[in-house]
Structure formats: structure tokens, C-alpha cells
Amino acid sequence: MSSKQRNLNPNSDVIEKIKLLLQLSELQLNTFPKDSLKNAEEVLKLARNNGLEDLIGKAFLSIGLAFYNLSDYEKALENYSTARKYFIKYENKIGIAKVLNCQGSIFELKGNYYEALNHFFKAYKAFKKLDDKKNTSQVLNNIGKCYVNLGRFETTLKAYFKSLKINKEINDKKLIAVSYNNIGIVYRITQKFENAIDFYNKSLLIAEEIKDHRIISTCFDNIGIAYYDLKKHQKSLDFYQKSLEIKKHLSDLNAIALSYNNIASAYFHLDDIKSSLNFLKKSLKIYKSNNQRLGVLRTLKGIGSIYEQEGDFTKALEFYSEAHEIAKAIQVKPELQKLKLSISQIYKIQRKYKKALDFYEEQERIKDELYNENKTKQIEELNIKYEAQIYRLKNIELVSLNEKLIEARDELIDSERRATFLATVVTANHEINQPLTVLKTNLELFKYFHKNDLNEKSKNIIGGMESSVDRITKVLEKLNKISQPTIVKYIDDIKMIDLEDDILS
């Protein structure tokens, strides 16, 4: 840039420096998040000191992304919120959409899937309106991931194939490879392993063509996981090790730690417990040095699981407890719920029944919270659709009861019925599940303390009570999974929800 141009814009050098720092911060996100944070904070300082308010939003967004990669989700959300205020002030529509997408990722991680979807869909509409196809495609991937967690795999595939179509339209080979990988993951989860490996190989071919080593390593990881699920553990290990070699070449420490965890799983199933623990501890060291708390949490949980399966419950409890404290600190409820359940089971084995009951009740409370948060959001969405359909119904010309009116009326009734059903299920879970948990635990305690006093008749009575508790639990679980209730005749004009026979047998 000439001296004349610099005189016309005295901040031009600062702006160039800010752009470079933002690019550097983005590149460092996965590998060196602490350095990424430092560079983003330097951008904020430069933007403020030089009165470049329109760039402050970008600085806060980059700071939020760095905190996300450091597993500090509350600080990430705080910075995303501040970034959004600046983007709104300066009418930066792409910035606003990016914030929505980032916020959605945190809600998804915390298990608030419908809240996450709400943010993702807003981002999707914004990017689509701006004709930003690349970001539209990436948001569709996040939408698909959310639906995976909700067990709605057909909807996931629709989102992923839609993303793939956009990526082909813009001829972005890297994103096409990512789409093939995502589609493969869904097929693996649904145990269509041939389809999964086929899509992984499609991704691998493109990644090798464009020499994207990061995607190549991801393909090797995913193929390894598919063989792991097929119980071909030696073949799984071979692919994990191929992936590891690439990650070492890239010097991607967090990715190396993930590979160590995968390799540890393969060694465990090959009955090499020593190697399994060794790789997990190597992974733990990396995650701790990078302050990657979610990685630390999951690795500690993996070590605890091995000690539990090997019968060393004291060691298992030690690692589970450390992971539990991190899960509480970063407030990732799905992980916290699973850890409380694991700790409860250890205390039960150790005959520390009071502690076992406390942790079991806590994990049930968190499970109910997650369920209720998601169902409440689902009901809100149904109510919005319901109100929209009322508006549409009012605007239909009521000359005759034509097909359009009948269709709208049926949709209206269906939405109302679904909303009522979901509200009932939320209530049933809240009011029935908690006392049921206490009843089940107390029955187990009663059996333990009176095991020498019970005659055959008493044992049969308790057995019948346990069977009834299990039956109620299964009915509640089945109701939780129903998104579209089917009404069937019960007696005369009385109707009931259709549940599969095997649940009630």
C-alpha cells in the first residue's frame, strides 16, 4: 500500500493487522486455542484503541470461538451475545447469522437440542436469504447433527443430502468430502455398514485428490469406527493408526489425543488392557496441557470405565469423580447425567446404598430436565404452527367446505392433539418417574437388608413389584420416543395411544 493511500486512511495498517490476526486466530482454533484466544483479544484491543467499532463484533465472535474450543461454554456464550449486539448495531447480517450458528452449537453440546435447532434454523434462513451457500451448507450439517442426537435419522439424512447438493452446486470439493463423511456416519449409526464404508471411501477419494490430509485422517478414523462396530478390532486399529500418523504430521495435538482414545478402545477389545490404559493416559496428558476440558472429561470417563470393567472399583470411582467435577463446571448435562449414573452403580457395588441412591436420583433429575427442556421447546414449536394454521384457516374463503379447508382443519386438529400429547408425556415423566426411581431403589435396599428373612412367597411378591416398576418404566420410555402419536380404540368411545405389544408383554 502506498504512503498516499495510508494518508487517506490512517487506520489502514491497523485494519490489515486485524485481518491477519483474525485469520491466524481462526487457524489456531483447533490446535492452539489458547494462542487463538490471545490473538482474538489483541484484535479487540486494536479495534477499540483505533475506534474501529464495526470490527469489535468480529473480535468478540473470535474470542467466543476460542472459549468454545477451550470448553468454557459460558464465556463463549457471553462473547457471542456481545458480538451479536455489535453486528446488529452495524447491520452485519452475516455476523448475526454466524452468532446464531455458534450459539446453536453450544446448546447442542449441552443437550438442549430443540433450542439448538431453533438457532440453527434462524441461521439457515439468514444465510439462505443472503445467498451464502457455503454457510448455508455448514448450518445444514449442524441441523443434521442435532437430529442424530434426537434419533431422527431420516431427517438427518435429508439435511446432509441437502448440504451435499449445495456443495456440488458451488463445486466445493472439500465440503463435498465432508458431506460424504457425515452421510457415512448416519449409515454407521443405523448399522448400514456397507453404505457407511462406501460413503467414507467416496470422501477419502476426494480428500486424496485435493490433498486435504485432515479430511483423510477423519475418513480413516470413521472407517476404523465402522470396523470397531463390526467387532473387527484389529482392522479398526489399523485404520486408527493410519489416522494417527497423519495427525502427527499435522502437529494437531487435540486430534492426536482423539486418536489415542480410539486406539485405546481397540486395544481394550483386543484384551491388551495395559496398552489401552497407556494410550488413554497419553491422551489425557495432551488434553490437560491444552486445557481442553471436554476432552479431559471424556478421557477420564474412558479410564474409569476400564477400571470398572476390570473390577477395580476404587480406581474407577477416582477417575469418574474427577470427570464428574469437570462436567459440573462446564455444565454439559448429557455427560453429567451419564457420570452420575456410573458413580451410582459403583457405590451400589460397594454397598454404599445411600450414596448410590443420591447419585441415581440426581442423574434421574438431570435426565428429566433434559427431556422436559426439549419437549417444552417442541411444544412451543407446535403451538407456533398451531397458531399459524388458525390464521391460515381464518383466511380461507368459507364459501364451501372444500378440500383446502378440510386439509387445514385436519392439520389444525393434528397439531393440537400432538401438543396435548407432548404436554401429557412431560407431566407423566415429571410426576411418575421420580417416585418410581425411589420405589425401585428402596426395593433393592429392602431385598439386601432382608435377604436372609424372606420366604418364597415374599420373594415372589417383591419380584412382582419389580416387574410392575419395570413395566411402567418401559411404557414411559416408549412414550418419550413417540413424536407422532397413533390413536387407537380402547373400549367403546374411549381411545388410547398405540404402544407396541412387546413393551406391555
Please report whether residue 438 resides in a domain: yes
Judgement on whether residues 315 and 440 belong to the same structural domain of the protein? no
CATH of the domain at 259: 1.25.40.10
Query: Tell me, what's the pLDDT at 452?
Result: 72
User: How far apart are alpha carbons 480 and 492 in whole angstroms?
Assistant: 27
Mean pLDDT confidence for 459-474: 78
Q: For the segment 70-102, what is each residue's pLDDT rounded down to a tens digit?
A: 989 999 999 999 999 999 999 999 999 999 999
pLDDT above 80: residue 311: yes
Domain end (from 293, 315, 350): 350
Judgement on whether residues 315 and 377 belong to the same structural domain of the protein? no
Q: For the segment 175-196, what is each residue's pLDDT rounded down to a tens digit?
A: 999 999 999 999 999 999 999 9
Q: For the segment 275-304, what is each residue's pLDDT rounded down to a tens digit?
A: 999 999 999 999 999 888 999 999 999 999
Please report whether residue 155 resides in a domain: no
Range of the domain at 262: 252-350
User: How far apart are alpha carbons 483 and 417 in whole angstroms?
Assistant: 11
Judgement on whether residues 461 and 500 belong to the same structural domain of the protein? yes
- Scanning 150-212, the segments in alpha helix (DSSP H) are 153-169, 173-189, 193-209
Judgement on whether residues 299 and 374 belong to the same structural domain of the protein? no
User: How far apart are alpha carbons 370 and 377 in whole angstroms?
Assistant: 11
User: How far apart are alpha carbons 392 and 394 in whole angstroms?
Assistant: 5
Query: Tell me, what's the pLDDT at 427?
Result: 64
Query: Tell me, what's the pLDDT at 459?
Result: 77
Q: For the segment 430-443, what is each residue's pLDDT rounded down to a tens digit?
A: 567 667 766 776 77
pLDDT above 90: residue 32: no
Judgement on whether residues 329 and 389 belong to the same structural domain of the protein? no
Domain end (from 307, 322, 350): 350
- Scanning 395-505, the segments in alpha helix (DSSP H) are 403-428, 434-449, 456-481, 501-504
213-229 helix and 233-250 helix, angle to the nearest 10 degrees: 160
Query: Tell me, what's the pLDDT at 318?
Result: 96
Q: Which residues share a beta bridge with 488?
A: 496
pLDDT above 90: residue 463: no
Residues 405 and 147 sit within 8 Å (Cβ to Cβ)? no
Please report whether residue 100 resides in a domain: no
Query: Tell me, what's the pLDDT at 505?
Result: 33
Domain end (from 350, 383, 399): 350
Q: For the segment 298-310, what is each residue's pLDDT rounded down to a tens digit?
A: 999 999 999 999 9
pLDDT above 50: residue 24: yes
- Tell me how many domains the chain contains: 2
Query: Tell me, what's the pLDDT at 152?
Result: 87
Query: Tell me, what's the pLDDT at 7?
Result: 45
Query: Tell me, what's the pLDDT at 484?
Result: 61
Judgement on whether residues 326 and 439 belong to the same structural domain of the protein? no
Judgement on whether residues 290 and 376 belong to the same structural domain of the protein? no
Judgement on whether residues 261 and 314 belong to the same structural domain of the protein? yes
Indicate the pLDDT class of residue 406, thresholds 50, 70 and 90: low
> What's the whole-model pTM score?
0.72
Judgement on whether residues 387 and 489 belong to the same structural domain of the protein? yes
Judgement on whether residues 450 and 418 belong to the same structural domain of the protein? yes
User: How far apart are alpha carbons 443 and 466 in whole angstroms?
Assistant: 8
Query: Tell me, what's the pLDDT at 12?
Result: 84
Please report whether residue 291 resides in a domain: yes
Q: For the segment 111-149, what is each residue's pLDDT rounded down to a tens digit?
A: 888 899 999 999 999 999 999 999 999 999 999 999 998
User: How far apart are alpha carbons 385 and 402 in whole angstroms?
Assistant: 22
pLDDT above 70: residue 33: yes
Please report whether residue 65 resides in a domain: no
Q: For the segment 335-389, what is each residue's pLDDT rounded down to a tens digit?
A: 999 999 999 999 999 999 889 999 998 998 888 887 776 666 655 555 545 444 4
User: How far apart are alpha carbons 111 and 109 in whole angstroms?
Assistant: 5
24's grid cell: 491466524
Q: Which of 127, 128, 97, 103 minimizes the C-alpha distance to 115?
A: 103
Query: Tell me, what's the pLDDT at 435?
Result: 74
Between 29-43, 112-126, 448-462, 486-500, the lowest mean confidence (pLDDT) is in 486-500
Please report whether residue 52 resides in a domain: no
Judgement on whether residues 345 and 374 belong to the same structural domain of the protein? no
Please report whether residue 198 resides in a domain: no
Q: Which of 312, 228, 299 minimizes the C-alpha distance to 270?
A: 228
Mean pLDDT confidence for 245-255: 92
Judgement on whether residues 265 and 343 belong to the same structural domain of the protein? yes
Please report whether residue 497 resides in a domain: yes
pLDDT above 70: residue 269: yes
213-229 helix and 193-209 helix, angle to the nearest 10 degrees: 160
Q: Between 448 and 121, name the one with better pLDDT.
A: 121
